[in-house]
Amino acid sequence: MIDGLQMIINKYNYAFIFAMYDEAKDTIEYLGFEKIMGLFDIYKKDNYYIVISGIGLVNASTCLTYMDTKFDISYFINVGTACSLSHSFKQLDFFIVEEAFLGNVDVTGFGYSFGQVPKMPKSYLSNDLFNKELINFKKVKILSSDVFINSKEKVENIIYKVSKDIDLVDMECAAIFQSAYILKKSVISIKIISDVVGTNSNENDFAKVMVQCSSKIKNLIKLIIK
C-alpha cells in the first residue's frame, strides 16, 4: 500500500534528485516548493528539497555531493523517468531500483567486471529502510550510462556486457548510488517508465508522456511528504 510512504523521522533532511525540470514540474508547482539559491536549481518545502541535477552521470554525482555538503541531507531519493528493456513493463508504471550498475566503465584487463570501477563494488544497492515502505512497487535492476540507449545494438554491446538481468536504463541512477555509497548516505530510486528500447517514439510522443509522468510523480511525492 502506498499510504505507508510517509517518511518516519521528519527532523531529517530529504532530497529528491531529478535529472530534468519537466519531471519535477508538477511537484514543484502544486506542492508549494519554493526556489532557493544554489549551484543547481533547488527548491525547498520544510525539510524536503527538490534538486534538478541535469542529465548524465557526472551531473548526477556532483549534484548529490553538493547537496550533502550544503544541506546535510540524510536521505536521497532519485525520482524520474527510465527506459524499459522489457515490453512486459507498462508505460507510466512505477518501479523501485534495488540494484544499479554503471555501463560506461571497462577495466576488464585488470580483472574487474565490465561496468565496475576499480576498488568499487560491481553494483550498488538501494537502502533497505525505504524499500520496506515501497513493497507494492516491483523491484528492478537498472544500468546507467552517458550513452543514450536507443537500439538493440547498444543493448547488446553495453547493457548485456554488464548483465542480462538489467530491466531499466537511464543516465543518472548508478552515479547517484555510487556517490551515496562513497559518502555513506541512504539512497533510493523510484523510476517511472517513459518508453521502451526499440520502439518508434518521437519528440511529440515523449513530450506528452513527460506531462503524464510529472503528474504521477507529483501524486506519489504528495503521499511521501504529507
Write out 108-137 in H/E/C secondary structure: HHHCCCCCCCCCCCCCEECCHHHHHHHCCC
Model-level pTM? 0.91
Residue 7, pLDDT score: 46
Residue 203, pLDDT score: 55
Question: Is the pLDDT higher at 201 or at 203?
Answer: 201
Q: Is the pLDDT of residue 157 over 90?
A: no
Strand partners, 43: 35, 50
The answer as to CATH 3.40.50.1580 being correct for domain 12-102+125-156+166-224 is yes
Q: Is the pLDDT of residue 184 over 70?
A: yes
Domain ranges across the chain: 12-102+125-156+166-224
Q: Is the pLDDT of residue 63 over 50?
A: yes
CA atoms within 13 A on the CB side of 52: 16
Q: Is the pLDDT of residue 5 over 70?
A: no
How confident is the model over 122-154, as pLDDT tens digits? Answer: 999 998 755 455 557 899 999 999 998 878 888
